[in-house]
Amino acid sequence: MSADLTLPADLLNGRKVLVTGAARGLGFAFAEQIARAGARVVLADILAEQVQQSAAQLRELGLDVHAVTIDVRELQSVQAAVTAAVAWLGGLDGLVNNAAITNSGGKTTEELDIDTWDRVMEVNVRGCWLVTNACLPALRASQRAAIVNLASDTALWGAPKLLAYTASKGAVMAMTRTLATELGDDGITVNAIAPGLVAVEATEYVPEDRKQLYRQQRPLKRTQLPEDVCGAVIFALSDLSRFITGQTLPVNGGFVMP
């Protein structure tokens, strides 16, 4: 069973949005649906060739998109990519911090090595922070700025054998609250979306028993698809959520009900 996403084509009309980790998977789905909702979108990813191909694919659909290469761990790369994105967009109204890696899967805390821990934190936490800071001058100039951070419901239920990733997404939730507090006076909303186990390339490695756990223990028992998460992201970017900030919204079919 697939999930059809039907949103007003003008919900984000005229918005200028940057999506990181957008070459494939959830990030690509976000970029496509944000553009379909009327926004101009820049796709940013470390996969330089693939992000250009993904942007070209969306342009063939008539969507107003552009692509830049970014390594969210590196300050100079982040600053260069954000500068290029803002120049092409002519400003910035929305940021979707989606870039992340899941490399710690399948290992207990004692099996996890320091290099893996550090790399996950560099991408998932430091990357979110660096990109946010680089975007703030442009976001402050907008009258309707919104930041959407991608968290994960794994941090809400304590998924085993996924410690570095789970800890990183818990940090993203905490960062979301502090950023919301700090940026409220600028009129910038900051919220987090916490998906469940979504069927994308990045989750193909997940063991079948974990996939069954999700399907069997949530009220909505079908496989979660990228489209299931897009609506929440678009809502958080839109005028419909202008008085919502500092929140984490689980989008997981009810597997976690905080």
Helices (H), the chain: 25-36, 48-60, 75-89, 114-121, 127-140, 154-157, 163-183, 208-216, 227-237
Give residue 108's Cα distance to chain centre: 26
Residue 64, classed as helix, strand or coil, is coil
> Exposed, middle or buried: residue 69 (CB in 10 Å: 0-12, 13-18, 19+)?
middle
- State both tokens at 177: 């609250």
Q: Which amino acid is at 136?
A: L
Q: What contacts 155, CB < 8 A, 6 or more positions away?
A: 166, 167, 169, 170, 172, 173, 194
Where in the sequence numbering do the catalytic residues fall?
A: 165
How many other C-beta atoms are found inside a 10 Å radius of the C-beta of residue 157? Answer: 16
